[in-house]
Each structure stands twice: as structure tokens, then as C-alpha cells.
Amino acid sequence: MLYMLRAAYLTLHFLVVCFITMLVSVLRPRHLNNTTQCARLMSWALPVLRVRAIRNNDCPIKGQEQAIYVVNHQYTMDVFTCATMLPDHIAILGKSSLRYVPVFGLAFWLAGNIFINRRNKAKAWDTMAEVARIVKRRGCSVYIFPEGTRSRGQGLQPFKSGAFALAIESGLPIVPIVFSSTHKHIDLGRWNTGVVMGEYLEPIPTAGLTEADVKPLAELTHQKMLAALQRLDTTLEQQRAAG
């Protein structure tokens, strides 16, 4: 019963924030902070759900300095948990099919985020080159889920190349953001739902890299994020065991 009530609340909260996002984005179209400020409204659902969000550190990129942020993608809850650590001056890179999601697709686009077509792998580098031009012109950072889909409790999945091609093409550093495993530490059916812990990792420079470095860069980033994920999960397990 509690799970169903919370699921209904999350759906309502999500729709309300999407409508607010559309209104704000119409009043100040393509503003670089539309996404960040409206996403923070999503995170307001966490205290209502009795989810404790722990942020281990501050973003290593300061001011309006640009970067490519890569984040582990787990469940639908990500839209609420990841919002707790969304940097300023950001555009989220989303698959083109999201544009057809009722309400959300329009809000996503109006806020200034970017859709890409991931189906044509032959033109993947050209696609990221075009996104790099947009990013340079707008002066924004980019937020990407490099796994390409939700892991659904299966651990950190292999990374697709897009985020790393974009980072190399744009010459921007990669900043990993890692969140603890929600399937291990959050249960909407419990009164005290659980804890999510997030952490920014140190930037990974891309200056001087070429297309040949995309795969090694993806593998290096995956290794760093996997190690951080395991460390965060262990920390939460130890805290729970200690009471």
C-alpha cells in the first residue's frame, strides 16, 4: 500500500514539475539554468518519500567552466536522485525517442536540452561533432548517462562511446558523478525509504586526444566509476550495520 501511494505521489510530482518547467522555459527560452533549477524541484520529492540524500563533495568545476558530466543510470528514481547534484549551466543529452514522451518530452526540449539519434552508429562521430558545435556556441556543459539505458539493478553496465567522442571533439574534461546503488539502499515500501549517496570524481582531461582514444577513455572512466560505486555501497552498508 505504501509503495503504491508513493508511486502515485512521484507521478504527480513529476508531472507538476514538468509543467512548471514548460512555463519557466517559455518565459526565458533556452536559458542555461532552466534545466538545473527546474530539476531541483524534482529532488524536493525525496524528503517527502523519507529518502536521505548525502552529497559527499562539491563539483570540481567552478563557475561557468564547461565539462562533460557522465552519470550512472539505474532506475526511474534517477530523475529525483540525480537532481540533487545537477551542475549549473547544463544541457542534458537524451535519446531522440524521449521527445515523444507526453509532457516530459516538450518540457525537456523547451528547457534547452539536446536530443540525439543514437541508431545510426555509422554517423556517431559526426553526430557528436554537431553536438560539440552546439555546446561551444551555447557555452554550456553536458550531462550524459553513458550506459545508454537503465541498469535496473544489474550493476554498472558497459559504456557507449557517445559521451567520450563528444568530450574529445569538444576538448572538454569528463567529470564522473556516481550515485550509490538505489536497488540496494532504497525501498519505497519501507517507512524509512533509504539513503542515496552521490559523489563527484576528479575531472579526466581530454586535451590532445583523438577518435582513436574514445574506447580507452571510456574504459578508464568506467573503471573509476565502478570503483567509486563499490566504495559508496560499502560505506552505506557499513553505516547501516552500525545502526
Give 216-234 pLDDT, tens digit per residue. Answer: 999 999 999 999 999 999 9
Beta strands in 38-137 (DSSP E): 51-55, 68-71, 90-95, 114-116
pTM over 0.85: yes
Give 178-213 pLDDT, tens digit per residue. Answer: 999 998 999 999 999 999 999 999 999 999 999 899
Taking the CA atoms of residue 95, residue 96, residue 102 and residue 105 in that order, the dihedral angle to the nearest 10 degrees is: 80
